[in-house]
Homo-oligomer: A and B are copies of this chain.
Amino acid sequence: MNELIRMPDSAEKTQVPESRDVSQIYDTAAGDEIFALAAEIYPICRSITGNGVRETLRILGRYIDIDINEVPTGTEVYDWTIPPEWNIRNAYIKDARGHKVVDFADLNLHVMSYSVPIRKHVTLSELRSHIHSLPEQPDVIPYRTSYYSQDWGFCMAHRQVLSLRDETYEVMIDSTLDEGSLTYGEYLIKGETDEEFLLSAHICHPSLANDNCSGIALLTYLASRLSTIKTRYSYRFLFAPGTIGSIAWLALNEPTVKRIKHGLVLSMVGDGGGPTYKKSRQSDAKIDRAVSHVLRHSGLKPSILDFSPYGYDERQYCSPAFNLPVGLFQRSKFGAIPQYHTSADNLDFIRPEYLAQSYRLIASTLDAIENDVMYLNTNPKCEPQLGRRGLYAAIGGTQDVEASRMAMLWVLNLSDGIHSLLDIAERAELPFAAIRCAADLLRQSGLLIDPIC
C-alpha cells in the first residue's frame, strides 16, 4: 500500500485556497484591442535605441503603469557596451530632376537602421553599393540594420532598383549617433509570492507588424488584464530592444533574475501560422510542459521545437550561467515565411482573430502554471461513490458528463501526493482546464484536500 499517502488529522487540515482562474481574462474583445494597439505603434521608427522606443513605451503607458529605464551609452553590460543613441528625422534619395525616389517619410524601412548621417551626390554605381533589395522578392522592401559598424544604406524594392537610370542622385540621411541611452520598459504585477513569471518582447524593430508590434501589443493587453485578478506568481513584463536590451536588463538585474521561475519570449504572434513553441534550454521545465500541453489541446497544429541557441532573447535568458526556464512562443517560426523582415510584414499580415487565439493560448498557459497544484484524495482506498454526491451530472450535456467524469476519475486516481494537476492532465491527455474544473468540484465535495505543506 502506498505509504506516501498520509491523511492529515482534521485539526491539521489547511484551508483550501481559491483556484486562481486566469480564464477570467479571456475576452472576446481581445483580438480587436490588441490589433488596434499594434496598428497604433506600427508607424513608429524604432531601433535598439532612440526616441522611437520611448514613444512606443509612452503609448503602452496608457494601458499599464510602465517603468521607463535608461541605460547610458558606454555602459558595459557583460561582454557588450551600450552603443551611441541613434535618431533620425528625415531621409531620401532624389534623382537628377529632384524627384524623391525613396522617402523615409513614406516607410521607415527605407533606411538601414543605425545609418550614419550623409548628404551628398553619388553616381548610380555608388548608390547601388548602399542599396539593399531582394532579387527573389522584387516587390518588397527588406529590413536591414548596421548596429555595430558605421555605415549607411537604403532599402528598396528590387523592381525599383532595376528601374533606376544612370544619373547622379542626391542621398540624404538626417540622423544622429550621439551619447544617449538605451531605453527599455518594465512592468511588474505583484502576486501572492515573489516568484516571478517573465514575459518579454523585443521592441527594437521599426514598421514590422508581426515582428513585433504584435508581441508588444499582446503583452501590454495581457498585463492590463492580468493586473485585475489575483495570481500566485508575480508577473514581470519586459519591453526591451532585442539582444542588447535583454543583455542590459540581465546585467543590471541579477538579483531579480534569481526569482524567475517561468518565462516566455513572445514575437510574431499575429499571423495565422503555427503556433510554434521553442522549448527552453532546460527542455522539460514546467513552462515547456505547460505550453506544449496547451498547444496540443488547442485544436491547431502546433510545432514544438527543441531549444536551439538561435532566435530571440531566449538566447540570453538561456545562456549557460542563467539557464532560465524561458521558451519562445510564436505563430509562424521566424525566418520560415517570406514576409519575415520585409515590408510585407505589415498590418495586413496580422489579424485580430489570430491575435485573440495567441492571447488565449498564453492565458491558458498562465492558468496551467498558476493552478498546477498537488492535491490529496481523501478517499484513496477504492473510488469514492460519486453518484450519491451528485457528481456524475455535475456539468450539463451528455458528452460533458462523460468528459467530466473521466477528468474526476483521473484526478482522484492520481491525487496521491506525487502528481500535480499538470502531471494529471498530461497523463490523462485531457485539457488542463477540464482537470482543474474536476479538481474544483472534488474539492467542494471534500474528496480532495491540499497536502500538508
Stretch of A105-113, A180-188, A309-317, A363-371 that contacts chain B = A309-317
Q: How far is the CA of A385 from the CA of B381 in the complex (A)?
A: 55
Task: Given A385-B79, A406-B310, answer yes or no on A413-B380 (Cβ-Cβ < 8 Å).
Answer: no
Q: Is A28 an interface residue (CB 8 A)?
A: no
Q: Kindly list chain B residues whose C-beta atoms are within 8 Å of the C-beta of A308.
A: 406, 410, 428
Q: Kindly list chain B residues whose C-beta atoms are within 8 Å of the C-beta of A258.
A: 1
Contact A321–B2 (Cβ < 8 Å): yes
Task: Given A381-B250, A382-B251, answer yes or no on A320-B2 (Cβ-Cβ < 8 Å).
Answer: yes
| A309, A320, A406, A427: most-surrounded residue (chain B CB, <10 A) | A320
| A79, A377, A384: most-surrounded residue (chain B CB, <10 A) | A79
Task: Given A80-B385, A385-B80, A409-B309, answer yes or no on A380-B415 (Cβ-Cβ < 8 Å).
Answer: no
Residue in chain B with minimal CB distance to A389: B79
Q: Kindly list chain B residues whose C-beta atoms are within 8 Å of the C-beta of A250.
A: 381-382
Q: Is A414 an interface residue (CB 8 A)?
A: yes
Contact B247–A319 (Cβ < 8 Å): no
Q: Kindly list chain B residues whose C-beta atoms are within 8 Å of the C-beta of A281.
A: 413
User: A307 to chain B: closest CB distance in Å?
Assistant: 8
Contact A413–B80 (Cβ < 8 Å): no
Q: Which listed residue (B243, B318, B383, B416) contacts A413, Cβ 8 A?
A: B318
Residue in chain B with minimal CB distance to A323: B2
Q: Is A90 an interface residue (CB 8 A)?
A: no
| A250, A319, A384: most-surrounded residue (chain B CB, <10 A) | A319
Residue in chain B with minimal CB distance to A254: B1
Q: Kindly list chain B residues whose C-beta atoms are within 8 Å of the C-beta of A77.
A: 382
Interface of chain A, main secondary structure: loop
**A381-412 to B contact mask, C-beta < 8 Å, 1/0:** 11111011000000000000000001001101
Q: Kindly list chain B residues whose C-beta atoms are within 8 Å of the C-beta of A444.
A: none
Residue in chain B with minimal CB distance to A419: B320
Q: Is A24 an interface residue (CB 8 A)?
A: no
Contact A319–B78 (Cβ < 8 Å): no
Q: How far is the CA of A258 from the CA of B380 in the complex (A)?
A: 15
Q: How far is the CA of A315 from the CA of B384 in the complex (A)?
A: 11
Contact A316–B382 (Cβ < 8 Å): yes
Contact B409–A79 (Cβ < 8 Å): no
User: A251 to chain B: closest CB distance in Å?
Assistant: 7
Residue in chain B with minimal CB distance to A311: B409
User: A421 to chain B: closest CB distance in Å?
Assistant: 15
Q: Is A285 an interface residue (CB 8 A)?
A: no
Contact A247–B413 (Cβ < 8 Å): no
Contact A380–B1 (Cβ < 8 Å): no
Residue in chain B with minimal CB distance to A409: B309
Contact A388–B148 (Cβ < 8 Å): yes
Q: Kindly list chain B residues whose C-beta atoms are within 8 Å of the C-beta of A321.
A: 1-2, 5, 380-381, 416
Q: Is A39 an interface residue (CB 8 A)?
A: no
**A188-222 to B contact mask, C-beta < 8 Å, 1/0:** 00000000000000000000000000000000000
Task: Given A1-B322, A79-B385, A257-B1, answer yes or no on A309-B410 (Cβ-Cβ < 8 Å).
Answer: yes
Q: Is A75 an interface residue (CB 8 A)?
A: no
Residue in chain B with minimal CB distance to A378: B79
Q: Is A69 an interface residue (CB 8 A)?
A: no
Chain A residues near B (Cβ < 8 Å):
1-2, 5, 77-80, 148-149, 243, 246-247, 250-251, 254, 257-258, 281, 306, 308-310, 315-316, 318-323, 377, 379-385, 387-388, 406, 409-410, 412-416, 427-428
Q: List 25 A-B contacts (CB under 8 A).
A: A1-B254, A1-B258, A1-B323, A2-B321, A5-B320, A5-B321, A78-B381, A78-B382, A79-B382, A243-B383, A250-B382, A251-B381, A306-B427, A309-B406, A309-B410, A310-B406, A315-B383, A315-B409, A319-B380, A319-B413, A320-B414, A321-B380, A321-B416, A322-B382, A323-B416
